[in-house]
Structure 1
Amino acid sequence: MGWKFQAKKIPFGSIDGACVGNAQNNEGKTGVTVLCFPKGAKTGIDISGGGPASRETPVLEPTREDIGIHAIVLSGGSAYGLAAADGVMACLEENGIGLDTGFALVPLVVQSYIYDLSYGSATVRLDKAMGYEACLNALKKNNPQSGSIGAGTGATVGTMCGMKQSQKSGIGYYAMQIGDLKIGAVVVVNAMGDVYAEGRKIAGLMNESRTEYIDSTRAFYKIAAPKDLPSRTNTTIGAIITNGRFDKAQITRIAQQAGNAYAGCINPVGTLTDGDTVYASSCGEQVTADVNMAGTLAAEVMAKAIERAITSSQMDDEEYLSYCLDCR
């Protein structure tokens, strides 16, 4: 007897209740990605890295008030990138999206960012205008594309020994459906470690001549002064969205299970130099599903999104190194 339901791949943009938009500065190699929830979405978070970089994330803890948020912002720009959320709030307010407090409409916006100042330009700032543009693009409800766009514009991996031995990464999307349940993942892979797909290394630390891979974990063990690692800032940030109906505690649990994909695909991961974070948002009220099954599927789609972030962003060495600030 066969299974009643089987998982199938679907477009990320087919998940009702959520929309995604990107904006970037291609000269500075930085950008922003906005996930909008016009009707609000119950959202949880799992932070596995020791150096999280974020805005307003404490409101997502299960013990806080159980109200939906209106946008998740994933960005480059390091701490400067937090300015993007101001533009997102302005765009949402103009479009009538937010929490009605009786005196004003207040969009609830959370954000995480990656460090990309070592790639492209360290002086180009991700600002309010770019956040506004990305949010406006999200409200147009286009199906998003993986690659070196949005928050993934300046993402890199395998930075253990500096940018000269690292490789390009980006942002990846993937979604699947089982029965009526839809789950999608978006992730910006900006890892110090190597990235694997089905046990095979697909990006990461290379030797000095860039002719073959070096194992980042083994290189880690040989570092004479681990105290220098905090200068090599890294973060993988992602989000799960689903049309399933889950409360705040359940959606937080789904975020935690989705984080297993980080551990399965990236090594090393979750160090003090990483701000590794997974959001999860429930956008629906009609579809019910077992939280354990949903969390398992969330980890699967996240792993696929990580792979997409790498395969859609690869470029030849000459072009890549031309944007690395310590290679010039």
Structure 2
Amino acid sequence: MTDDLLAHNGHLAQVLGLHVGHFTHPDRPTGCSVVLCPQGATAGVDVRGAAPGTRETDLLHPSHLVQHVHGITLAGGSAWGLDAASGTARWLEEHGAGLDIGVGRLPLVPAAVLFDLTVGDMRIRPDAAAGYAACQAACAAAPHQRPAEGSVGAGAGALVGKIFGFDRAMQGGIGTASFTVHGVTVGALIACNAVGDVYHPRSGQLLAGCRSSDGRQLLGARDALLQGHAPQSLLAGSNTTIGVVATDMALTKAQAQRLATVGHDGLARAINPVHTMSDGDTLFALGTGQAPKALDLMTLFTLAAEAVAIATARAVLLARALPVAGQTPAPSWADMPPCL
């Protein structure tokens, strides 16, 4: 039942004007991912989770002055991971991108982070050098090359299904998807570290999440909660799904903000529960304006929600258990028996 998701061949780098790259730390499962738009893109954001970790989200409000950003950084490492955005900004400055301030250029790089500090040595986390390296990877990729997915970049240390404890979770990851209609592409890149379970957005099949007490099969957190099972108390902010939804159609700032808002519909189709007090769910939206045509907003927003939903599911389907010193890695989708 997952063949349609695995066969999906759309991805965010197909959006004209965008470059996507990852850095995965060699010493523990963590990293960062960048979406570069050196020529500038109209941007918006919608933060739905109650425990976000973000940078430069206020400037994206439609009533505020700045009209364009030059990149988005997604990172592990919780609040420390926000340092990665400084490396992204440095790379963009070196390559002549940014807001012209007369004496130079100032790259604007909003960012969001997820919590992966329980996986391995928390003192190892993405920094400015990691953000710079992710930009180098994005620049080195062939035009419109599919970005790596699964246990890489910002999704390397992600876990899902932690409602009944981290020891019953499964591997999360990062995924991408896109659709093109009448010459306009809408795509998404999603790093899924949700407290909830992840479902096939069309069939409703449970893909990954909380496991049974013996760890051998998927439990189904939604049904367990409906039956009265009490969730485990979790550190606020220790879960989060972050990402970018983008199009090469021209957008106003208000339309970009609405694109980010509608993108959360895709998260709700793939994750349950979602937008909780323990999550910091944040989606950025970009409009590069490089497509030769335009779509009506109904179609655009429908494509956006679908791309987000599929990218979220692919994040867990393509994740793999990574070695962690002194710890037993959480199983991936590929390690578990199918849930029928």
Same fold (TM over 0.5): yes
Pick which of 257-266 and 105-114 moved more: 257-266
Structure 1 Cα separation of the partners of residues 164 and 230 of structure 2: 12
Summarize the alignment of residues 226-241 of structure 1 with structure 2, pairs less than 5 Å apart: 228-231=233-236, 233-241=238-246
Q: Could you tell me which amino acid in structure 2 is paired with residue 94 of structure 1?
A: E
What's the CA shift for 1:190?
0.3
What's the CA shift for 1:83?
0.8
Q: Which residue of 2 aligns with 1:24?
A: 24
- 2:170 is the alignment partner of 1:167: yes
Q: Could you tell me which amino acid in structure 1 is paired with residue 110 of structure 2?
A: V
The runs of 5 or more residues in structure 1 that have no matched partner are 1-7
Instruction: Indicate how the Cα distance of structure 1 residues 293 and 66 shifts in structure 2: closer, same or farther if over 3 A, else same.
Output: farther
Structure 2 Cα separation of the partners of residues 69 and 231 of structure 1: 29
- 2:192 is the alignment partner of 1:189: yes
Q: Which residue of 1 aligns with 2:157?
A: 154
Q: Could you tell me which amino acid in structure 2 is paired with residue 309 of structure 1?
A: A
1:9 and 1:176 in contact (8 A); partners too? no
Q: Could you tell me which amino acid in structure 2 is paired with residue 240 of structure 1?
A: V
2:36 and 2:135 in contact (8 A); partners too? yes
1:26 and 1:153 in contact (8 A); partners too? no
SS in 2 for 1:89: helix
Any idea what the Cα deviations from partners look like across 1:12-51, whole Å, max 9, x if unmatched? 3232111011101132211000000010000111111111
Q: Could you tell me which amino acid in structure 1 is paired with residue 307 of structure 2?
A: V
2:308 to 278, 302, 307: 302
Q: Which residue of 2 aligns with 1:63?
A: 63
- 2:116 is the alignment partner of 1:121: no
Pick which of 148-157 and 119-128 moved more: 119-128
Summarize the alignment of residues 79-228 of structure 1 with structure 2, pairs less than 5 Å apart: 79-142=79-142, 143=145, 144-197=147-200, 198-220=203-225, 222=228, 228=233
Instruction: Indicate how the Cα distance of structure 1 residues 319 and 303 shifts in structure 2: closer, same or farther if over 3 A, else same.
Output: farther
Instruction: Indicate how the Cα distance of structure 1 residues 224 and 289 shifts in structure 2: closer, same or farther if over 3 A, else same.
Output: closer
Instruction: Indicate how the Cα distance of structure 1 residues 301 and 320 shifts in structure 2: closer, same or farther if over 3 A, else same.
Output: farther
Instruction: Indicate how the Cα distance of structure 1 residues 233 and 10 shifts in structure 2: closer, same or farther if over 3 A, else same.
Output: closer
SS in 2 for 1:176: strand
1:245 and 1:289 in contact (8 A); partners too? no
RMSD: 2.2
What's the CA shift for 1:319?
10
1:164 and 1:208 in contact (8 A); partners too? no
What's the CA shift for 1:314?
3.7
Instruction: Indicate how the Cα distance of structure 1 residues 258 and 279 shifts in structure 2: closer, same or farther if over 3 A, else same.
Output: same
2:17 and 2:248 in contact (8 A); partners too? yes
In the superposition, the TM-score normalised over structure 1's length comes to: 0.90
Any idea what the Cα deviations from partners look like across 1:143-167, whole Å, max 9, x if unmatched? 2121100101001100112222110
SS in 2 for 1:79: helix
1:255 and 1:295 in contact (8 A); partners too? no
Structure 2 Cα separation of the partners of residues 12 and 98 of structure 1: 22
1:251 to 246, 250, 256: 256
- 2:53 is the alignment partner of 1:48: no
2:28 and 2:324 in contact (8 A); partners too? no
In the superposition, the TM-score normalised over structure 2's length comes to: 0.87
SS in 2 for 1:238: strand
- 2:249 is the alignment partner of 1:278: no
Q: Could you tell me which amino acid in structure 1 is paired with residue 126 of structure 2?
A: L
Structure 1 Cα separation of the partners of residues 324 and 19 of structure 2: 35
SS in 1 for 2:135: helix
Any idea what the Cα deviations from partners look like across 1:77-103, whole Å, max 9, x if unmatched? 000101111111111111111111001
Q: Could you tell me which amino acid in structure 2 is paired with residue 40 of structure 1?
A: G
SS in 2 for 1:202: strand
Pick which of 132-141 and 81-90 moved more: 132-141
Q: Which residue of 2 aligns with 1:3?
A: none
How many residues end up aligned between the 2 structures?
A: 316
2:45 and 2:60 in contact (8 A); partners too? yes
Any idea what the Cα deviations from partners look like across 1:101-154, whole Å, max 9, x if unmatched? 001210001000000001132121211111111112122244212110010100
Any idea what the Cα deviations from partners look like across 1:184-209, whole Å, max 9, x if unmatched? 11000000001000200000000121
